[in-house]
Structure 1
């Protein structure tokens, strides 16, 4: 569901069943859109941010990465390019 600059997604727990850190109940993660996920991830690592899942290409122009957030809520970076 899109609401202005905010997107809310409801995702079944089973999607993350193979990853204990990502597969818990409750708020799973908050997403942050970036235009260059590799550069953003590198900048965050230089500041001491610990990544749970390094940037990975999910296909169809989507790249994602997860890192530790505050209070046990994971944060996701995503980079969505339009396929040409």
Structure 2
């Protein structure tokens, strides 16, 4: 008879790590468009990593070395997108459009109480905005 040992580890979210062709420009996008706040830099004048806080989510944006392959094209396996909740999806979509940020898909009513839309961030990162209510 084999006893199965149950493990209950205490996992806690720590960060999301992105690689970018231009870490400085990507960090600027997340700050200017999504309100992320820079909390640190590593690597001196040409940073190798920029650390942001995006709505309580810590993001590391690393300068990708030359020769790093492109991002996967959704739909794909692995991490497919970042989801950000907003209070007013119509106002958010209008704000993004006014900033010249193209939507990948317009507002969709998934089910009662859930509306979503997608746009593309730097380096092919797909970003979902969603309104629950």
State TM-score, norm by structure 1.
Answer: 0.68
| RMSD value, Cα | 2.0
* Partner residue in 1 for 2:116: 64
User: 1:13-52 residue pairs with structure 2 within 5 A?
Assistant: 21-52=73-104
**Which secondary structure does the structure 1 equivalent of 2:92 belong to?**
helix
State TM-score, norm by structure 2.
Answer: 0.44
Q: Give the unaligned 5+ runs of structure 1.
A: 7-20
Residue deviations 1:41-67, cap 9 Å, x none? 110111000101101111130000000
Which has the higher Rg, Structure 1 or Structure 2?
Answer: 2
Q: Give the unaligned 5+ runs of structure 2.
A: 1-12, 14-55, 58-72
Residue deviations 1:12-56, cap 9 Å, x none? xxxxxxxxx531233211011101001101101110001011011
Residues matched between the structures, number:
65
Ranges of 4+ aligned residues in structure 1 off by more than 2 Å: none
* Partner residue in 2 for 1:53: 105
* Partner residue in 1 for 2:126: 74
Query: What is the alpha-carbon distance in structure 2 between the residues aligned to residue 71 and residue 80 of structure 1?
Result: 28
**Which secondary structure does the structure 1 equivalent of 2:130 belong to?**
strand
